[in-house]
Structure 1
Amino acid sequence: MNETQANQVRTGKGFIAALDQSGGSTPKALRLYGIEEDAYSGEAEMFDLIHAMRARIVDAPAFSGDKVVGAILFEMTMDRDMGGKPSPAALWEDNGVVPFLKIDKGLADEADGAQMLKPMPDLDALLTRAVAKGIFGTKERSVIHAANPVGIAAVVAQQFDVARQVLAHGLIPIIEPEVTISIADKAAAEDILLAEIAKHLDAVPAGQEVMLKLTLPEKANLYQPLVDHPAVMRVVALSGGYSREEANTRLSQNTGVIASFSRALTEGLSAQQSDEAFNSTIAATIDSIYAASVAG
């Protein structure tokens, strides 16, 4: 583990940018960016366009370690170049931003009110490549759709199983059991989730650390015990479909939690903008998410 990067993740002021849209979410991300589906044919062109968007964000003057602690990359982004060097190296060496990698292969079908991770048979090979590319940590996302103790327990147990595999490669896992923001029993689901995560954290061997990426809770500071847990390097929050304004408001009410926004980060950006307008928009966005991240 790179201790300089670890210190930045532990104590850095700012947030973690989520630049990890995958095959399923890329068309929507491009549409919001002003590129309709009839503008490209096939996955290769689609991924070229989303890579160009990500590279444009990373190239913006405001995208630096002063306010952006880290960035989560899609596997294909890790394997591509930005500014003439591998993306993870460009992030860290040129921007001072710690690189993470999204490792999950999507969600399994819903069972017991939750969607677990699809099987990842090639995970060890991917983690070996990630280490070689200079990746610091990983992220894997499950989704909770109901306050069902069985489903929530299964999601958290699987997440910690994957986390142990990630830790064995010397990487820091971001455990992400997202709670859907629109469900009626969201607060109850979050109470169950808190208890399950705490139980597994207590079993993490001394000296090992994980990160948590959680939906902004209904009750401010609900996750404070997790923020303070010795096995937790950092707790970050996903925007989960909230507007950037609402996500920032909720975030600022949760002490010690920083943002890890995806859609809320790219809100207002457009392929049609001039570089000046694009850079100005992303700078204002970064400032607002940074302010909410350090407010708590």
Structure 2
Amino acid sequence: MSHAQQSARFETGHGFIAALDQSGGSTPKALRAYGIEESQYSNDTEMFDLIHAARTRIITSPVFTSERILGAILFENTLDRDIQGKGSAAYLWEDKGIVPFLKIDKGLEDVTDGVQLMRPNPGLGDLLARARDKGVYGTKERSVIHTATTDGITAVVDQQFQLADHVLDAGLVPIIEPEVSIDAADKADAEGILKEQILTRLDSYTGTKVALKLTIPTVDGFYSDLIAHPAVARVVALSGGYSRDDANARLARNPGLIASFSRALLDGLSADQDDDQFDKALDAAIEPIYQASLT
């Protein structure tokens, strides 16, 4: 299938995006949640082997299918590994019909002006070329907004769209992720500034599209104009620390917004489960997220 067919599926298909992109810094926490303690591995190589085995178990599960999963976001280490003898991105698309994305940011700077910008990414060009060659369709890049400061949010959006232009030039589709912390005391105000800034930049795009990954808004339906914008391929939502039930309920109140959950998707999975238990737990996570993404 072509890039155009992947675009049509991503932009119009039913389902949600599985975020399987925990980086090196967050992998120990993800493994603990999966029932694997740090005492069970002694170095990064063993750690990444264990998390890849967990991701492989999810992706190859018979309940992890294109009927409910539109796309999956991978970590760079996963991109360089195989699933059942095939490159991870190629396996997702060719065997599962699921659109592959890649997390490309290198983590966050310290807080300045109430936000955390992305760290420098000197190897970006090579990473984008490698991703494209391995069959990746798009990218994801995350910043975090902690408070409603116009200067800080402007800096986040400027950096995000500059990076998005590099991604587009490489022939990939960027998922721009300026996360607003659910703990922000002025979350709704931050979302208002953020939306205004994003709309200003979107209006300069003609003939090309970006995607957005945003925290589920405080005001239901607040991002409807972003969802309808001709320069937006899709708006997806992160769970941001809300419980799965709470995140699903909030998502369902936002028509057109679909999930791109990580922790909320993986809750309840354990390395100790046999395959039947694991598949049932994964199905129990996927189905309500899928239903909330249909509204």
Q: Same fold (TM over 0.5)?
A: yes
The number of aligned residues is 294
Shift of 1:203: 1.2
Partner of 2:104: 103
Stretches of structure 1 lacking an aligned partner (at least 5 in a row): none
Q: Amino acid of the residue matched to residue 154 of structure 1?
A: A
CA distance in 2, matches of 1:62, 1:233: 26
Identity level (%)? 60
Q: Amino acid of the residue matched to residue 220 of structure 1?
A: D
Shift of 1:62: 1.1
Q: Amino acid of the residue matched to residue 238 of structure 1?
A: L
Shift of 1:109: 1.0
Partner of 1:182: 183
Equivalent positions of 1:44-123 (< 5 A) are 44-123=45-124
Partner of 1:233: 233
Shift of 1:174: 0.2
Q: Deviations over 1:131-183 (max 9, x none)?
A: 10000000000000000010000000100000000000110000000001011
Shift of 1:8: 0.7
CA distance in 1, matches of 2:6, 2:195: 27
Q: Amino acid of the residue matched to residue 15 of structure 1?
A: F
Q: Deviations over 1:9-56 (max 9, x none)?
A: 001100000000001110000000000111111111110000000000
Shift of 1:188: 0.6
Partner of 1:5: 6
Q: Secondary structure at the match of 1:260?
A: strand
Equivalent positions of 1:268-287 (< 5 A) are 268-287=268-287
Q: Secondary structure at the match of 1:254?
A: coil
Q: Amino acid of the residue matched to residue 87 of structure 2?
A: P
Equivalent positions of 1:12-27 (< 5 A) are 12-27=13-28
Equivalent positions of 1:204-243 (< 5 A) are 204=205, 206-243=206-243
Shift of 1:221: 0.7
Q: Deviations over 1:241-266 (max 9, x none)?
A: 11110000000011101000000010
CA distance in 2, matches of 1:60, 1:67: 13
Shift of 1:284: 1.5
Equivalent positions of 1:120-199 (< 5 A) are 120-199=121-200
CA distance in 2, matches of 1:170, 1:257: 25
CA distance in 1, matches of 2:288, 2:255: 17
Shift of 1:64: 1.0
Q: TM-score, normalised by structure 1?
A: 0.98
Q: Secondary structure at the match of 2:175?
A: strand
Q: Amino acid of the residue matched to residue 58 of structure 2?
A: I
CA distance in 2, matches of 1:283, 1:267: 11
Q: Amino acid of the residue matched to residue 226 of structure 1?
A: L
Q: Amino acid of the residue matched to residue 105 of structure 2?
A: D
Aligned Cα root-mean-square deviation (Å):
0.7
CA distance in 2, matches of 1:223, 1:108: 27
Q: Secondary structure at the match of 1:93?
A: helix
Q: Amino acid of the residue matched to residue 281 of structure 2?
A: T
